[in-house]
Structure 1
């Protein structure tokens, strides 16, 4: 099919922290060197920040390197951390505050800020446009463009106005090719093009299997007497038990608001577990309830997190492009932070790409120089120091794994490096071998149902479009997953996308793709790896305000 095309020096997929940091750094160098350069960023969300979800406590190191005058420029870092608490929830009533001396240094937040990651990217987008970057929100990158020799030459933006049966609707717009000398993939965790590139170029051949968590988050307006700006609370324990690991966060940000969330490690083995419902009952614990009671929930969202760390990093360069940020997995889970490392990876990528293009490179090369730059950076140093964090948790559990990591940090990383090579989806056990979990009904005050939560995410998809949740074998969910695992998609999805319904007395697997918040958990956790998430029509999905 002949498509219209636009040529750029650099095409960036995803207007998140890594993609926008890369765009800004590219143009800074070009302007300083008086070298003409064209850079575009394509973003599937309806606007910059619409799909951005993070805790978020931000370490400003990378931002300060990119824009030393960020405060004067009005960067949305308004609430400095004033106090840290780390809590172990022992049961549904009791908790123990961990003495500060026993809290790993990675969990100390002096000098950090409680922010909205969505608002940060909106601000970064403004800086990028002022520097001369072209940003196209509302357009989803659907395909990778390859040259005849297999090198990456850009991307294809998906068609608009395609009906569910594949026919063209009124107002149909064919997708356009965005061609670049180099293409940077910054789609976030489990990017669907990044996933293809890792497979095509065998980028993970020397890496452990990547590991993931699902992060669920709510934003609350709270009474003035409850508000403690700058307070950061982290914790673990109840209600997660058995082989389910994870932890909660609760931050008092500005505007009399509190963010609260739960990260559940997707290596759990009980198919009856529902991360969403674990989050809802967790908020009933007095340790969290005292911060929320009398408040009003105003937003909800969920997103998968690539948390494997250094051991799971793929090779990040390939002919014609680079993987950056969470598309590669640069998050430092020992800190529960990824914004600063994602931005740094994007900035380093920009430096490698600019040096190549300025030197006369016409594109298509494997910029292995980027791997060296990354390895020589403080971002790599951070990840190396925490390389055993996730494997220790998987191998020994929260308490013993935490102790191992604490001792590893005290020793300067001299303990043996641990590895976990089992993919998260492969840990699922048959339902009849596990204890069924009965969750309490939501009370509408602290706990809520999925559909009312999805409503608060402002999620919307054009209903008459092809389903973006692709089943390799449509019969498998009922034939295999239902009898063996009680079809866990009904529970691991935080948005009510998947249901088992009855038609003519027979179970049917129903996909309510309109509810999808683009968390990618199904693509990660399905035990048969039968579900593939691809980008829907541009502009669809959640629209997170202040998240």
Structure 2
């Protein structure tokens, strides 16, 4: 098929913190050198920031390096952390862990409670002001290679393809976007990032990545329940001691509270539902006291990379690089990733600009991983590298081991523990205790469909399903038979549904509900689900999440 094509110096796929930081840094360097540089950034969401979901408490260090006068420019970091609380919850109560005994990575002095979607939108404005060509609503659907096998860009997704895969009446073919270097910043479990890892064997020396699923709601609460800048983290209930999980309550300005829950996707019980765990979490006395009398404004969910340093793949390949959570730079121990994404994007941009200045095209940007290893980001990730492996020992022993690692050994233990793939951890349903979840009360706890409604998710129904099954028999023959169809529970949006009919059971995929969390792609026990991009501009439209 003949497609239109456009050439750029640098193409960036993904408009989150990493991609926008890379775009901004490239233009800064070009301006300093007095040279022209064409930089294009595409983003699958309908607008910049619409697919961004994070807690979030933000460390401003990388942003300050990138844009030193961000305060004067009106960056939406306007709620400094005023107090940290770490709570251990039982089913009916809880107790606060003394801050003096907490590792430094759990403390947030100097950080800001933010709505990361708003921060990203602001970064987009800074990028456009510098001359970056920013195109929201365009999804990177496939990779392009040159005659030497180097990445030469991407193809954006076709529009108007019917459910059967045929061009419809409104069909528009995608465009070829070519570049001398392409930086991939799709976020956690990026569609093209998966293809690149396989094509160039980028994980040959790395551990498997491990993940969590984060669920979040934004609430407007009564004034008396609101403490601007208060950061509350919790561990314990509702998770059992053997399952990794924890919650947060972040107090923003304007009587807004972000409440959320993270479940490690290495959980073993196929009956566990992260969505229901989050709903009952809000009913705990220590959490409901912040929410009672308030109004839920928004809901969303997103997978989170958590493997740390030892799960980082090789970052470069001929023609490009992985940045941000497409590589997995999030620091799970700090519950932070935006600062790491910004730093990695800036480092990759500097490597790409140096290569272009030397008139090199589509080679490996080896100076990018070298610069990373010399940076404060490497030191930070190295210090906390054993956090997630320690937590495989359960809450109490894992917390003790990590506390010793951080407080006594200062993160300099002479060992590095390893991660295993999350999809391998499920036990058989017959060997696992069932979990009884209460019906939602409609006041503090809610069902999936009313929650998805608040995410403003929309997909054109007459298009090819973007959730592809490699083998259509596996959902019934394996997942239902052995694991009681866990996709019905690990999906936070009601996408997967087992329908029982006279002729037997079948899996129904309600792709229009998908909030692009990628959990199905990660947790499916046989790795039978391939999450691909839908038409550009579709999915959730988060408002400052």
TM class by shorter-chain length? over 0.9
Tell me the equivalent position of 2:319. 320
8 A contact 1:153–1:320 mirrored in 2: yes
Q: Which runs of 5+ in 2 are unaligned?
A: none
1:526 paired to 2:504: no
* In 2: Cα distance, 1:542 partner to 1:438 partner: 29
Distance apart, 1:417 and its partner CA: 2.6
1:60 paired to 2:60: yes
Q: Deviation per CA, 1:486-542, whole angstroms, max 9, x where unpaired?
A: 010000000000000023341010000000000000000000100000000001100
8 A contact 1:280–1:446 mirrored in 2: yes
Tell me the equivalent position of 1:340. 339
Tell me the equivalent position of 1:407. 404
Tell me the equivalent position of 1:87. 87
Tell me the equivalent position of 2:459. 461
Larger deviation: 439-448 or 414-423?
414-423
Tell me the equivalent position of 1:254. 253
Tell me the TM-score normalised to structure 1 length.
Answer: 0.98
8 A contact 1:387–1:417 mirrored in 2: no
8 A contact 1:139–1:158 mirrored in 2: yes
Distance apart, 1:398 and its partner CA: 1.6
Q: How does 1:184-223 map to 2 (within 5 A)?
A: 184-223=183-222
Q: Deviation per CA, 1:246-267, whole angstroms, max 9, x where unpaired?
A: 1101000012100000010000
Q: How does 1:274-293 map to 2 (within 5 A)?
A: 274-293=273-292
* In 2: Cα distance, 1:265 partner to 1:504 partner: 37
| Partner SS for 2:394 | helix
8 A contact 2:383–2:412 mirrored in 1: no
Q: Deviation per CA, 1:313-338, whole angstroms, max 9, x where unpaired?
A: 11100000000000000001110000
* In 2: Cα distance, 1:176 partner to 1:208 partner: 35
Q: Deviation per CA, 1:218-271, whole angstroms, max 9, x where unpaired?
A: 000001111110000001100111532111010000121000000100000000
* In 1: Cα distance, 2:497 partner to 2:242 partner: 25
Tell me the equivalent position of 2:305. 306
Tell me the equivalent position of 2:437. 439
8 A contact 2:139–2:156 mirrored in 1: yes
Larger deviation: 236-245 or 120-129?
236-245
* In 2: Cα distance, 1:414 partner to 1:153 partner: 41
* In 1: Cα distance, 2:514 partner to 2:222 partner: 32
Distance apart, 1:483 and its partner CA: 0.8
Q: 1:371 aligns with which of 349, 364, 369?
A: 369
8 A contact 1:181–1:320 mirrored in 2: yes
Tell me the equivalent position of 1:390. 388
8 A contact 1:35–1:358 mirrored in 2: no
Q: Deviation per CA, 1:150-207, whole angstroms, max 9, x where unpaired?
A: 1100000011111111222222111000000000000000001001101111111111
* In 1: Cα distance, 2:349 partner to 2:98 partner: 42
* In 2: Cα distance, 1:48 partner to 1:4 partner: 24
Distance apart, 1:414 and its partner CA: 3.1
Tell me the equivalent position of 2:227. 228
8 A contact 2:210–2:419 mirrored in 1: no
8 A contact 1:461–1:541 mirrored in 2: yes
Tell me the equivalent position of 1:71. 71
* In 1: Cα distance, 2:368 partner to 2:100 partner: 38
Tell me the TM-score normalised to structure 2 length.
Answer: 0.99
8 A contact 1:140–1:537 mirrored in 2: yes
8 A contact 2:241–2:396 mirrored in 1: no
Q: How does 1:58-137 map to 2 (within 5 A)?
A: 58-91=58-91, 93-137=92-136
Larger deviation: 401-410 or 245-254?
401-410
Distance apart, 1:402 and its partner CA: 1.4
* In 1: Cα distance, 2:64 partner to 2:430 partner: 53
* In 2: Cα distance, 1:201 partner to 1:50 partner: 31
Distance apart, 1:73 and its partner CA: 0.5
8 A contact 1:208–1:419 mirrored in 2: no
* In 2: Cα distance, 1:419 partner to 1:488 partner: 29
Tell me the equivalent position of 1:355. 354
Distance apart, 1:50 and its partner CA: 0.5
Consecutive aligned runs of 4 or more in structure 1 exceeding 3 Å deviation: none
Q: How does 1:465-544 map to 2 (within 5 A)?
A: 465-544=463-542
Distance apart, 1:368 and its partner CA: 1.1
| Partner SS for 1:19 | helix
Tell me the equivalent position of 1:28. 28
Aligned length: 544
Distance apart, 1:17 and its partner CA: 0.1
* In 1: Cα distance, 2:330 partner to 2:396 partner: 22
